[in-house]
Amino acid sequence: MRTTEFDFYLPTELIAQFPTKERSASRLLRLNGNSGLMSDEHFIDICQFIDAGDLMIFNNTKVIKARLVGQKQSGGAIEALIERIIDEHHALAHIRASKSPKPGTRLIFANAFEAEVEARQEDLFLLRIDSPRPILELLDEYGALPLPPYITHAADEFDDERYQTVFAKDPGAVAAPTAGLHFDDDVINRLKAKGVNVAYVTLHVGAGTFQPVRVDNINEHKMHSELYSVPTETLTLIKATQNAGKKVTAIGTTALRALESAARSGELLAGNGETDIFITPGYKFKVVDRLLTNFHLPKSTLLMLVSAFAGLENIQKAYQHAIQQKYRFFSYGDAMLLERNTHK
């Protein structure tokens, strides 16, 4: 398939720069992947569309304050985005500078602590942080929340709260699992009161989630890699749900990627791993029946994923409908609830 099949024109004013006043105040576009039928709804009413006994699976990753500004010891300005914390004193980072730093280059961040570039690993730099304090502690004090590149304002205290899910627990993501941003405690409690079961996985979202596919043939795209974890208790709930003939709903493409990665062998397995799963039309889903997701960037791997889930033609029509109806797009935007196309 060609990347151009996943392109569309989006008016700039539809890119949400700020979240709704209340988390659950977004709009919700429902799409049935089998019939192609759509309906315009409100997210606050999501309880109506999930049945008792169904299972909702959330990604409980926590966004870290991964953006750091500083300079080389020689004086040149730099900006670093910590992509992955390896241990308390080592991390992989994207670095923006007038000239890429070579191994051995000393970096000074926030005039507070230093690091050394130890090696280059493709687009990333391995940094050793020279501080007795752990990296996460330093990021909390000196880092900034890494808002997506299409959000034009700098992160502030409001973003520190709202670009984080209410169930965020395990630090390590550099982008929020944005479908989860629509949920507040009240909505989750109402779902539980209805008899909907709730479980969690972890997938630490990387900056690669925002990268468009730059090759013409999508099969030539090299997918970024992310760390994930599927707990045993989540696996147990999934099997019980499936045995009862009920539906598994992934809250976000990141939760779906974690679940489908854990089932790559043909059997769903609990545990930790690293995944570069690239889901495109023709993929056979093994775990997820329903997907809640935001609207995604043109030519993105996530747009390809939802097209695989609900059907490319259905998604193309739904996105055109969303544009006509002025839905809000991307991380702070509105949501879609997709029923999987089972006819493929």
User: Is residue 36 in a domain?
Assistant: yes
Give dist(CA 127, CA 310) in Å, integer. Answer: 41
256 and 283 share one domain: yes
- CATH number at 12 reads 3.40.1780.10
86 and 54 share one domain: no
125 and 206 share one domain: no
Residue 215's closest CA among 278, 275, 148?
278
The alpha-helical segments, DSSP class H, found in 210-262 are: 232-243, 253-262
182 and 47 share one domain: yes
Question: Which of residues 142, 177, 197 is at a domain's end?
Answer: 142
Q: Which helix (H) or strand (E) holds 251?
A: strand 248-251
Counting the structural domains of the chain, the total is: 2
41 and 97 share one domain: no
Per-residue pLDDT for the chain (344 aa), expressed as one digit of tens each? 999 999 999 999 999 999 999 999 999 999 999 999 999 999 999 999 999 999 999 999 999 999 999 999 989 999 999 999 999 999 999 999 999 999 999 999 999 999 999 999 988 999 999 999 999 999 999 999 999 999 999 999 999 999 999 999 999 999 999 999 999 999 999 999 999 999 999 999 998 888 889 999 999 999 989 999 999 999 999 999 999 999 999 999 999 999 999 999 999 999 999 999 999 999 999 999 999 999 999 999 999 999 999 999 999 999 999 999 999 999 999 999 999 999 86
User: Is residue 147 in a domain?
Assistant: no
26 and 170 share one domain: yes
User: Is residue 26 in a domain?
Assistant: yes
Sheet containing strand 38-42, strands side by side: 38-42, 27-32, 335-339, 290-294, 248-251, 55-59, 197-203, 226-230, 271-275
Residue 191's region, left for phi above 0, alpha for psi from -120 to 50, else beta, is alpha
Question: Which of residues 142, 173, 198 is at a domain's end?
Answer: 142
Residue 296's region, left for phi above 0, alpha for psi from -120 to 50, else beta, is beta
User: Is residue 153 in a domain?
Assistant: no
User: Is residue 168 in a domain?
Assistant: yes
123 and 111 share one domain: yes
35 and 181 share one domain: yes
Cβ contacts of 111 within 8 Å, gap of 6 or more: 70
The alpha-helical segments, DSSP class H, found in the chain are: 135-142, 157-162, 185-194, 232-243, 253-262, 301-310, 312-324
272 and 328 share one domain: yes
User: Is residue 234 in a domain?
Assistant: yes
| Cβ atoms of 70 and 117 closer than 8 Å | no
Residue-level pLDDT at 209: 84
CB burial of residue 257 (10 Å; 0-12, 13-18, 19+):
buried
Question: Which of residues 111, 142, 173 is at a domain's end?
Answer: 142
- CATH number at 110 reads 2.40.10.240
Residue-level pLDDT at 206: 94
Token pair in block for residue 190: 């109402």
User: Is residue 155 in a domain?
Assistant: no
Report helix, strand or coil for 24.
helix
DSSP 260: H
12 and 124 share one domain: no
User: Is residue 152 in a domain?
Assistant: no
| Cβ atoms of 226 and 194 closer than 8 Å | no
249 and 202 share one domain: yes
pTM: 0.96
Residue-level pLDDT at 344: 60
Query: What are 144-196's pLDDT values in tens digits?
Result: 999 999 999 999 999 999 999 999 999 999 999 999 999 999 999 999 999 99
278 and 136 share one domain: no
User: Which domain covers residue 232, as residue numbers?
Assistant: 3-63+160-339
| Cβ atoms of 221 and 212 closer than 8 Å | no
